[in-house]
Amino acid sequence: MAIPGLKKPDHIGFTVPNLDEAITFFREHFDFELAYEFGPFASDDDWMKDHLNVNPRAEITKIAVMNAKGLNLEIFEYSDSVERSKSAPNNADIGGHHLAFYVDDMDAAVAYLKDQGITVLGEATTMTEGPTEGESWVYFMAPWGMQLELVSYPNGKAYSRSTSVTLFDPR
C-alpha cells in the first residue's frame, strides 16, 4: 500500500558549494528559471539534526527553487560553519546519484557541452541489447562535481515491448 494521497514527485533537492554558480549553470545550459530564493536558516536547538539529518549547528545560507519543463529543483547552499564533507558522492558511493536530461540529438548535445568547457566522461554509449536497447547515454560533470547525464532514445527503448509498465517518456 502506498502513502495515502500520494500524487507525483514534487522536486529533486541537492546541495552545492556555490548557489549562484549552480543557478547560472542550470539557467544557461538547461533553461531552468529561478522561481524563488530564501534563507539563511539555522537553529539553536536540535531542529536541523532532527528534521534535516545534518549537524545541529549547520546553517543553510540560501535555498533556490528552479523549474524547467515541469522539473523542480530545490538547491541548497550550506555555510562552512560546521565540519561536513565537501566531496560529491560518485555513483558507487552510498547516496550516489545523478540527474539525467533527455536530448533529441546526442551528438549535438555532447558537442555543446564540450564547446562550453563542461567535462564529458567518455563517449556516448549506445545500448544495442537488453531492456535499454535503443538508448544512448553519456555522463558529464557540473562545475562543482555533481554527476549529470544526457540520454536519448528517439525510437523508444526495448523494454516497452515486454511490459505493461510505462515509464515517463520526455519525447
How long, in residues, is the chain?
171
Greater model confidence, 86 or 140: 140
> Are residue 162 and residue 96 in the same domain, yes or no?
yes
> Are residue 96 and residue 59 in the same domain, yes or no?
no
Q: Is residue 6 part of a domain?
A: no
> Are residue 101 and residue 35 in the same domain, yes or no?
no
Q: Is residue 4 part of a domain?
A: no
Confidence at residue 63, expressed as pLDDT on a 0 to 100 scale:
98
> Are residue 77 and residue 110 in the same domain, yes or no?
no
Confidence at residue 42, expressed as pLDDT on a 0 to 100 scale:
96
Residue in 78, 65, 86 with CA at minimum distance from that of residue 12: 65
Q: Is residue 67 part of a domain?
A: yes
Total number of domains in the chain: 2
> Are residue 31 and residue 67 in the same domain, yes or no?
yes
Confidence at residue 6, expressed as pLDDT on a 0 to 100 scale:
87
> Are residue 51 and residue 98 in the same domain, yes or no?
no
Contact in structure between 70 and 89 (CB atoms under 8 Å):
no
Residue 1 pLDDT level (bands cut at 50, 70, 90): confident
Domain boundary among 38, 62, 81: 81
Rounded CA separation 169/101 (Å): 11
> Are residue 95 and residue 75 in the same domain, yes or no?
no
Residue 4 pLDDT level (bands cut at 50, 70, 90): confident
Domain boundary among 81, 103, 118: 81
Confidence at residue 103, expressed as pLDDT on a 0 to 100 scale:
97
Q: Is the pLDDT of residue 14 over 90?
A: yes
> Are residue 77 and residue 94 in the same domain, yes or no?
no
Q: Is residue 108 part of a domain?
A: yes
Residue 155: domain span: 90-170
pLDDT in tens, 148-158: 999 999 999 99
The DSSP line for 107-163 is HHHHHHHHHTT--EEEEEEE--SSTTTT-EEEEEE-TTS-EEEEEE-TT--GGGGS-
pLDDT in tens, 31-85: 999 999 999 999 999 999 999 999 999 999 999 999 998 999 999 999 988 888 8
Domain boundary among 56, 81, 106: 81
Q: What CATH number is attached to the domain comprising 137?
A: 3.10.180.10
Greater model confidence, 88 or 34: 34
Q: Is residue 20 part of a domain?
A: yes
Q: Is residue 2 part of a domain?
A: no
pLDDT in tens, 96-138: 999 999 999 999 999 999 999 999 999 999 999 999 999 999 9
Residue 164 pLDDT level (bands cut at 50, 70, 90): very high
User: If DSSP codes are grouped into helix, strand and coil, which group holds residue 52?
Assistant: helix
